[in-house]
Structure 1
């Protein structure tokens, strides 16, 4: 891994030099926009809407559009004068229980590695934080943007998780929250039973990106000049008419799946049975003569 930022954790009078690394990476299959006929790459030019001329990257600045449509142009010098007091510093603001922070605030995760002579104070703060069972709430500036963040310990390493500001979290303003929806005790009990049946320890290695794998197979097949076989379409789930019956069937299916038994297609079996009974009851067909 390559570090993307260098700074220091400021903890009281203690300063711990650290390097910052991105803790996650996207595994998406990337594409280029190409000409359908010959596969040539599509290039875009940076053209000014005022004079129609192509603009070199060195002449491009950031602009903030006002409600009137006027544009305020900001230069690099304008950003340099901004009061980013936490620039190159991770300031510890407080310590708090992790369960008090809603996961909706978390944005991106980074690893922190001790730099230079910072290994001993790094390990000291790490062990103290881990034994306390809390997380550190900090403030940090990354890419000219100040963010709240938390420091926690994972596999012996500090993880810095940047957070959104409170005014960046949308309120769930949905109409159904104002409705008086009645849930019967039997339905609630059956739903709780379904949850209990499906309960297990979380193992992320059990899950994988089936879409990305299928897409990769399509690409490999086209490279090899083979015919691409479409995956079977899954039946679209429809809203349950009888909620109680749907919950009961879900509990039974979950139990069978946990016991390793394949789910029995009840509907298909009943239709086949009805068709067979119809054939047995149906009278023999009469032969009709063809006219000369």
Structure 2
């Protein structure tokens, strides 16, 4: 059974709801070790002095900030402790905003808030109030020694806390060269827009997250299973496929033909589209050459 990250209070106004902060994600990445290719022994990384090459024990290591090339200021443990938030193990809601008011780029990592014993009433009160008002709470949450900006929102029977990024962490899209203005400025005809809309409608379906899987991880897991079965035999690391070569880009694109072909393949039917069948934009590039097949391992 999963253990809480901490058990504390969810506070809004003068109300405090005892809750446990639980992880809302599950790690699924495959973990690899680095081995010496000559004898398949693990490689050990050591902490060494950049000048002397001598190993440095943990007790002699300090944290420092490089404020200029080669110039450092040491930050003591007391400095970090003094900067840490005074409150611990709490979620303090500071304000409530419209549920659709926050740019999706601000949301980062989800957690689940679980009510403590005999705290169900306050928990459900906040959950149902947020649903009815269509609001989410903007809060400060302390995890270990770090304070984060977060959002508290209802999700079914749960209250979910999502860590948020600060504004300075986001890049303003305006820093990039983007095609602004109206569609007519790019010679997009009403017929093209209508056909593109029809294509989107024909590919529309209800969001079914279980339809999507990490296919790379699944394929790599299968390769690993085969390697384990072959353990003791001569094996070779799979060789990567040759890179796909792209053709020369062109600005001459028949959007109507592409849309008609896409609609023809869909047969004009609506309904769920398998993830692997999602249409990809091809405007601006000639078709890429087919990648060479990877060579079979011995």
**Could you say which TM-score interval applies, normalised by the shorter chain?**
0.7 to 0.9
Match of 2:191 in 1: 186
Structure 1 unaligned segments of length 5 or more: list them: 264-292
Q: Which runs of 4+ in 1 moved over 6 A?
A: 226-233, 235-240
The answer for the alignment partner of 1:175 in structure 2 is 177
1:224-235 to 2 correspondence within 5 Å? 224-225=229-230
Map 1:274-285; keep pairs closer than 5 Å.
none
Distance 2:26 2:245 in 1: 32
Instruction: State which drifts further: 30-39 or 114-123.
Output: 114-123
Mapping 1:1-292, distance limit 5 Å: 1-82=2-83, 84-172=85-173, 173-177=175-179, 181-225=186-230, 241-255=253-267
Q: Say which structure is richer in helix.
A: 1
RMSD: 3.2
1:133 positional shift: 2.3
User: Bigger radius of gyration, 1 or 2?
Assistant: 1
Aligned residues of 1:35 and 1:42 also touching (Cα < 8 A): yes
- Worse-matched range after superposition: 251-260 or 211-220: 251-260
Name the CA shift for 1:236/1:208 in 2 (closer, same or farther; >3 Å).
farther
Q: 1:5 to 1:59 in 2, by over 3 A?
A: farther
Q: How far apart, in 2, do the equivalents of 1:132 and 1:259 lie?
A: 32
1:129-183, CA deviations, whole angstroms, 9 ceiling, x for partnerless residues?
A: 2332221111122243322211112231211001101111101222243685332
Q: Write the deviation string for residues 241-291 of structure 1: whole angstroms up to 9, x where unpaired.
A: 32221111111112378689xx9xxxxxxxxxxxxxxxxxxxxxxxxxxxx
| Contact 2:84–2:145 (Cα < 8 Å) also in 1 | no
> What is the CA distance between 1:191 and its match in structure 2?
0.9
Taking structure 2 as the reference length, the TM-score comes to 0.77
User: SS where residue 131 of structure 1 aligns?
Assistant: helix
Partners of 1:258 and 1:58 in 2: how far apart? 65
The answer to whether the 8 A contact 1:86-1:139 is kept is: no
Most deviating of 171-180 and 45-54: 171-180
Alignment CA distance shift 1:84-1:113 (3 Å): same
SS of the residue 1:141 aligns to: strand
CA distance in 1, matches of 2:194, 2:65: 55
What displacement does 1:123 show? Answer: 2.6
8 Å Cα contact 1:8-1:16 kept in structure 2:
yes
Q: Structure 1 residues 157, 211: closer, same or farther in 2, change over 3 A? A: same
Q: Distance in 1 between matches of 2:240 and 2:44?
A: 34
Unaligned runs of 5+ in 2: 278-298
Which residue number in structure 1 is paired with residue 293 of structure 2?
A: none
Rounded Cα–Cα distance in structure 2 between residues aligned with 1:132 and 1:75:
46
SS in 2 for 1:100: coil
